[in-house]
Structure 1
Amino acid sequence: MSLSSFLAQFDPAQEIEYSWTPPSSWYIEKDFLRAEIEHLFNNHWLYLGSAQELKQPGDFVTYQVVNQPVVVTRGQDDRIRAFYNVCRHHAACVASGKGNTEVLTCPYHGWAYRLDGSLRKAPRLGKLENFNAKEFGLVEIALEIWGGLMFCHFGAPTQSVAQLYPGLGDFLQPADLESLNFEVRREYTLECNWKVFVDNYLDGGYHVEYLHPDLAAGLDLDNYETLIRTNFSIQQCKSAENDARLGRGAVYAFLYPNVMFNRYGDILDINLVLPQGPDRCLVIFDYFFAPHCSREFIEKSLQSSHQVQLEDVGICESVQRGLKSRGYDKGRYAPRIELGELHFAKMLYSTLAEGSGFIHPNQLSHQ
């Protein structure tokens, strides 16, 4: 099926009271995922991780971001840079995991690269025509640090992270984020499309009282609200009285396309969802805590979060099975509740339509 055929099944102009969800084909077809990678993930700022992973010159850390291997280094000049983690000789990854080193040495044939990406050594190369070592460094990737957090861009960014999400600082202040200590990264593999996880996150708290009873007990769900902004949305809710973990309440920020910031009490947890196939995704959780938090509080908080994630894994995988059923194609949105979900669908539609030059038939009929 062509991308145009996929997009024609969703009308972005409809208000939520009349709108249908995108069809199940958006969640199960390989061709649609290929279009998402081409037009969205290859051309957008994407969250990598905490810059606290690179405290000293020589530190490096590696990531795998939608089929792209990435290595981030802090050079001897104290500058943090990102590169494709690919040797220019025969494409092996030059680094794995994280650590501290003076050079990145490919394990395949020993080509070595300085932390600024330049080629330092190509052993046993011999006489080679039309070869300039200065042109064979690691290929650099656009990198930006916002609030102590690293974002990369595989294309040619035309705006900064702050410009992409105008007004985000009103809800998440960079200085506040930088004051927190990175604790741990945990990963969950889900048998569902990456957008199923996003939709679940953006349903305006609709599912919380049914799926997360322990979490619901700590939130004042009657005051749950969703705010729509440019390229991001905010869900916020006051906490029930005397909840030590949630503090005065929670702010849940979704940054299009695939990262979620959960700020509550002395805690920030960041959720990153990465597609690994049309019906499989990797969800990464980065946890940050205020410096004064005790080890007991941290461990208890991590366990509480883990329980919520297990509950979400089960329902997301159930939804994916349902999306493949002949008994379902499209659903409806709950007005005043699932605003974030519709906003996400419209942003995705816009990205793919603009990238492919598609114009919806309904738009043509009004021209």
Structure 2
Amino acid sequence: MHPGLRQFVKPDDLEWSFGDDFSVQKVGLGDQLTKRTTPRYREFQDALLARFGQTLPRFGAIWCFLYPNIMIEWYPDIIVVSTIYPKGAGACVNHVEFYYPEALYKDMPDYFTAEKAAYMETAVEDEEACLLLEKGRRALYLSGEEEHGPIEPFLEAGVAHFYDWLAKQ
């Protein structure tokens, strides 16, 4: 899952922070940004290298999840805010907003276009994964089974934290 994103960030360079109603995941920037990747991430990584040169940012992404439905994402020079609005038991809308520094956007619009295309590639993959998970959870529910895993303890620690928060509500 996420071949482009997995190349862009460094999953083994991961830091977690937790609060009562949030989690923060900081992921290091990949160290092989010139290596083969998906076409959309290739464009973004090339733009990132052109933008920062040898002085690359420490992190490739910082994801902050404010429970129950807001995600604030940081990528170099970019903030993305996603808000999930439920539309019933089996549907929701994910409203996504992109924020860029105005002066930098005027100077380097291609950088931001490349980032948004890479982001949308990952968003489509996320939607596919969510639909498969929902299908599996529905099948378990209809068969009378209750199953919450598997959750990878380190990479998905925020999922377990969210479920713990949800159980307390």
Asked if these proteins are the same fold (TM beyond 0.5), I'd say yes
Paired with 2:18 and 2:124, the residues of 1 have a C-alpha distance of: 28
Residue among 259, 277, 296 paired with 2:70: 259
Residue 126 of structure 2 corresponds to: 312
Q: Distance in 2 between matches of 1:219 and 1:256?
A: 24
Q: Does 1:337 align with 2:155?
A: yes
Find out whether 1:221 has 2:11 as its counterpart.
Answer: yes
Alignment of structure 1 residues 198-237 onto 2, 5 Å: 211-237=1-27
CA distance in 2, matches of 1:313, 1:222: 24
What are structure 1's unaligned runs of at least 5 residues? 1-210, 352-367
Answer yes or no: is 1:277 the counterpart of 2:88.
Answer: yes
Alpha-carbon RMSD: 2.0
Cα shift at 1:217: 0.7
CA distance in 2 between counterparts of 1:268 and 1:248 reads 16
Q: Deviations over 1:178-235 (max 9, x none)?
A: xxxxxxxxxxxxxxxxxxxxxxxxxxxxxxxxx1101111111111232212211110
Question: Percent identity at matched positions?
Answer: 23
Secondary structure of 1:263 counterpart? strand
1:32 maps to none
Pick aligned residue for 1:248 from 55, 58, 82:
58
2:79 touches 2:99 (CA, 8 Å); kept in 1?
Answer: yes
C-alpha distance in structure 2 between counterparts of 1:265 and 1:314, whole Å: 26
Tell me the secondary structure at the aligned position of residue 331 of structure 1. Answer: coil
Query: How far is 1:247 from its partner?
Result: 3.8
8 Å CA contact 2:26, 2:63 repeated in 1: yes
**Amino acid of the structure 2 residue aligned with 1:262:** E
The residue number in structure 1 matching 2:165 is 347
Specify the alignment match of 1:161 in structure 2. none
Secondary structure at the aligned position of 1:324 is classed as: helix
Partners of 1:338 and 1:255 in 2: CA distance: 16
Aligned to 1:322: 136
Structure 2 Cα separation of the partners of residues 330 and 212 of structure 1: 25
Q: 1:151 corresponds to which residue?
A: none
State the Cα distance separating 1:349 from its structure 2 match.
1.9
Which residue number in structure 1 is paired with residue 38 of structure 2? none
Distance 1:266 1:311 in 2: 23
Cα deviation, residue 265, structure 1 = 0.5
1:268 aligned onto 2:58: no
- Output the TM-score relative to the length of structure 2: 0.75
User: Structure 2 matches for 1:19-168, cutoff 5 A?
Assistant: none
- TM-score between the two structures when normalised by the length of structure 1: 0.36
Q: 1:319: how far off?
A: 1.0
**Maintained 8 Å contact 2:11/2:155:** no
d(CA) in 2 for partners of 1:240 and 1:335?
21
CA contact (8 A) 1:226 1:337 kept: no
Amino acid at match of 1:331: H
Contact 1:248 1:264 in 2 (8 A): no
Query: Cα distance, 1:256 vs. partner?
Result: 1.1
Query: What secondary structure, in the 3-state scheme, does the structure 1 residue paired with 2:124 have?
Result: helix
Structure 2 unaligned regions, length at least 5: 34-44, 50-55
- Contact 2:20 2:165 (C-alpha < 8 Å) held by counterparts: no
